[in-house]
Amino acid sequence: MKILIAEDDENSRVFLERALLSQGYDVVSAGNGIQALEKAIQASPDLIISDIMMPKMDGFELCRLVKLDERLRAIPFVFYTATFAEPQDKKLAMSLGASRFLIKPMEPDEFFKTIQKVIVNHQQSEQTEAERPVTGTAELDRMYAETLARKLEKKVSQLEDALGQLRANEERFRNTFEQAAVGIAHVALDGRFLRVNQKLADIVGYSREGLQEKTFQEITCPDDLDTDRAYVRQLLEHRLQTYSMEKRYIHKDEHLVWVNLTVSLVAATSPDPGYFIAVVEDITRRKQLEAQLFQAQKMEAIGQLAGGVAHDFNNILTGIIGFGTLMDMAMDKKDPQRQNLNHILAGAERAANLTKSLLAFSRKQVSNPLPVDLNEIITKIGKFIQPIIGEDIDLKITVSNDVLIVKADTGQIEQVLLNLATNARDAMTSGGLLTIETEPVLLDTDFMKAHGYGEAGEYARISVSDSGCGMDDTTLKRVFEPFFTTKGVGKGTGLGLSMVYGIIKQHNGFINVYSELGVGTKFTIYLPMTLSAIMEDASGEEELLEKRTATILVADDDPSVRELSEKVLGMVGITVITAEDGNDAVEKFLENKDTIDLVVLDIIMSKMNGKEVYEKAKEIRPDIKVVFISGYAADFMNNRGMLDEKLEFVEKPFNPRRLLKKIQEVLDKTN
């Protein structure tokens, strides 16, 4: 048995085909009335099952034509419909000569039974009159027209509903597109922006219309374009579903904005050639913070390294300078070797200055911060700056009217200004203007957030600007690195700015630099202001080295320091007891507890540190005097208490005279 199915909906058709095949029928299918009529003639089926609503020719018309055709008239015709389910529809169908009018959905069993029955009935009665159109053509036409009109009305109202829903949906999607917190664009396959949302336009600084005249290639940073294009190719070749990348767009103002871009391809459906959906998130801020963090970490790491090396170097230099000085003292004034020795000593002093710069950069230099008026420091140091920069460069110093009290080491701040001035001079080879200004500023949390450092509060701002050659970006990024210099061999050490950086950090301040090639450079320093206006003057005059009797315990694990101290102190008649580590120091102190007048302790020693030795000694002799030796501010940082107690210390590498002077000072102090 062969059945012809006329059904435009593919799902229903395939389903029906399978169902009938499973029941052992042969099946022929058509997607519309015209096709069905052709197939009916070709295949002469035993039964036609037809939908009603179909394109090109509907089921009613199909039925009418079948029943009018001599060749086909005998084939039983069954309507199977979901949409035309009213009594009038059935009436029209039956009038057209249909055998059955079935309404979807139907239980499969019942459906098959009915089909079977139609076929059997038909075979028994062969061609009956009932299967011809029963009504006159005019009547049929009227019924047909009526049915269609009703159907159309219904369809129109369904379409209107659907359209309403579509519009609501469209509205929702539009809002999602328009109001998204990320940029979204539909991009043509050639890169043109077809549609963009406001957010994307904002990110790159264009109006939406303006952006829609651009291609993504035009606004992508050239450095990122190749990567982006390679991804696009992979999308087009279906080797990728979607890709994400961090890239830079060129803002309308020509600066770069960092974004995170995610792109997927909407495949072509004819006649639409397809397009890309791009989602764009602005990550400029995150990138800035990352860069700042990276820079801070790099400086920290270099600082650690430099500080470590400098610390060991200091011990060596202490020996060289110390023994050299001893030789110098002992030598006959006319000794021909003295000149050589002085060269050695001068070299060692230069090396000591270098290590000092390194320690300053790594924030390990001992600093002695006191409340000072920054304006006073600057006014004083200004007098030294003019001769440094020479006559071709004008110096303009403008200090604020307010007193700017900061807790600072005067010597270090002077060093900062001298280093900046020296650099400015080098940048203004044919003259120019050096400006130094101070001003109190209140930095709020917004400022801190924008720059990624510091705590909000009152700061003293020092700006040092020059009208020199300026710097390019590569130089600018590296200026604070130790040993970074663009100056020729012998001209620059590359330590000036790293020293500045370290000192400012040590003062809990921060520094930034702005520079334009050929225009000039401006360094801006912020130092936190302290309210306390107590100022101390810590200057002392050189004292004569006179003979005296005293007993001193010197503890340092560096033998050259011990030996040196022994000799220097011995020269002025002081008895020296030496100890090589913390434990040894405590033992020696116990043995000589009644005779010792003062202890000289290295802060970092094996077994027990200087601070601990001092604590032990104090338990035994509360009045004991002490001088600490160190080149390592960190020691003090870790033992903040020591600074507060105003303890005395000598910095490494020390000149023997300085140690002697310090010891005398302390001995002379009455408790």
Name the site residues for ligand ADP (rule: CB under 6 A): 419, 423-424, 427, 466, 468-471, 475, 479, 484-487, 492-498, 521
| H, E, C per residue of 117-158 | HHHHHHHHHCCCHHHCCCCCHHHHHHHHHHHHHHHHHHHHHH
Cβ nearer to Mg ion, comparing 496 with 520: 496
| Residue found by looking up tokens 């109001």 in the block | 179
Q: Hey, which residues between 522 and 541 contact Mg ion (CB under 5 A)?
A: none
Distance (Å, rounded) from C-alpha 376 to C-alpha 399? 9
Q: What is the DSSP letter of 398?
A: E
Q: Which does residue 487 bind out of Mg ion, ligand ADP, none, counting CB within 5 to 8 angstroms by kind?
A: ligand ADP
User: Cis omega before residue 387 (within 30°)?
Assistant: no
Cβ nearer to ligand ADP, comparing 486 with 530: 486
Cβ nearer to ligand ADP, comparing 419 with 609: 419
Distance (Å, rounded) from C-alpha 341 to C-alpha 258? 60
Q: Which does residue 485 bind out of ligand ADP, Mg ion, none, counting CB within 5 to 8 angstroms by kind?
A: ligand ADP
Provide, rounded to whole angstroms, the least separation between the CB of residue 473 and ligand ADP.
12
Candidate list 423, 506, 521, 639; residue touching Mg ion; CB under 5 A = 423
Cβ nearer to ligand ADP, comparing 425 with 588: 425
Which residue type sits at 253? D
Cβ nearer to ligand ADP, comparing 444 with 516: 516
Q: Which does residue 386 bind out of ligand ADP, Mg ion, none, counting CB within 5 to 8 angstroms by kind?
A: none
Candidate list 45, 496, 582, 656; residue touching Mg ion; CB under 5 A = 496
Q: Please, which residues have CB within 8 angstroms of residue 600's CB and are 6 or more apart in sequence?
A: 552, 553, 554, 555, 556, 565, 626, 627, 628, 629, 659, 663
Cβ nearer to Mg ion, comparing 97 with 496: 496
Cβ nearer to ligand ADP, comparing 325 with 419: 419
Provide, rounded to whole angstroms, the least separation between the CB of residue 299 and Mg ion.
17
Cβ nearer to Mg ion, comparing 420 with 529: 420
Cβ nearer to Mg ion, comparing 467 with 609: 467
Cβ nearer to ligand ADP, comparing 44 with 486: 486
Phi/psi for 228 (5° steps) reads -60, -45
Q: Which does residue 494 bind out of ligand ADP, Mg ion, none, counting CB within 5 to 8 angstroms by kind?
A: ligand ADP
Q: Which does residue 263 bind out of ligand ADP, Mg ion, none, counting CB within 5 to 8 angstroms by kind?
A: none
Provide, rounded to whole angstroms, the least separation between the CB of residue 427 and ligand ADP.
3
| Residue found by looking up tokens 């012809």 in the block | 4
Q: What is the DSSP letter of 664?
A: H
Provide, rounded to whole angstroms, the least separation between the CB of residue 499 and Mg ion.
9
Q: What is the DSSP letter of 529?
A: B
Provide, rounded to whole angstroms, the least separation between the CB of residue 430 and Mg ion.
19
> What are residue 410's DSSP bridge partners?
none
Distance (Å, rounded) from C-alpha 624 to C-alpha 576? 16
Provide, rounded to whole angstroms, the least separation between the CB of residue 473 and Mg ion.
19
Q: Which does residue 212 bind out of Mg ion, ligand ADP, none, counting CB within 5 to 8 angstroms by kind?
A: none
Positive or negative torsion for Cα 561, 564, 568, 573? positive
Cβ nearer to Mg ion, comparing 31 with 496: 496
Q: Report angle CA 498, 502, 507 to the nearest 5 degrees.
A: 150
Distance (Å, rounded) from C-alpha 260 to C-alpha 343? 61
Provide, rounded to whole angstroms, the least separation between the CB of residue 415 and ligand ADP.
12
Q: Which does residue 453 bind out of Mg ion, ligand ADP, none, counting CB within 5 to 8 angstroms by kind?
A: none
Cβ nearer to Mg ion, comparing 63 with 428: 428
Q: Which does residue 484 bind out of ligand ADP, Mg ion, none, counting CB within 5 to 8 angstroms by kind?
A: ligand ADP
Provide, rounded to whole angstroms, the least separation between the CB of residue 495 and Mg ion.
7
Q: Hey, which residues between 442 and 471 contact Mg ion (CB under 5 A)?
A: none
Q: Report angle CA 511, 514, 520 to the nearest 5 degrees.
A: 125
Q: What does each C-alpha distance from 248 to 211, 256, 545 come to in angstroms? A: 16, 6, 68
Q: Which stretch binds Mg ion (CB under 5 A): 180-188, 387-395, 421-429, 566-574?
A: 421-429
Q: Please, which residues have CB within 8 angstroms of residue 477's CB and are 6 or more apart in sequence?
A: 295
Distance (Å, rounded) from C-alpha 523 to C-alpha 169? 57
Provide, rounded to whole angstroms, the least separation between the CB of residue 368 and Mg ion.
24
Provide, rounded to whole angstroms, the least separation between the CB of residue 528 and Mg ion.
26
- Closest residue to Mg ion, judged by C-beta, is 496
Provide, rounded to whole angstroms, the least separation between the CB of residue 460 and ligand ADP.
21
Provide, rounded to whole angstroms, the least separation between the CB of residue 420 and Mg ion.
8
Q: Residues in the chain, how many? A: 671
Q: Hey, which residues between 290 and 349 contact Mg ion (CB under 5 A)?
A: none
Q: Which does residue 427 bind out of ligand ADP, Mg ion, none, counting CB within 5 to 8 angstroms by kind?
A: ligand ADP
Contact 57, 35 (CB under 8 A): no
Cβ nearer to ligand ADP, comparing 307 with 322: 307
| Residue found by looking up tokens 């301040």 in the block | 509
- Closest residue to ligand ADP, judged by C-beta, is 496
Contacts by residues 268-276 (CB-CB < 8 Å, ≥ 24 positions apart): 273/188, 273/189, 274/189, 275/186, 275/187, 275/188, 275/189, 275/194, 276/186, 276/187, 276/188, 276/189, 276/232, 276/235
Provide, rounded to whole angstroms, the least separation between the CB of residue 419 and Mg ion.
6
Contact 250, 231 (CB under 8 A): no
Q: Does 610 bind Mg ion (CB under 5 A)?
A: no
Q: Quickly count: other Cβ atoms within 10 Å of residue 190's Cβ.
A: 9
Residues that bind Mg ion (CB under 5 A): 423, 496
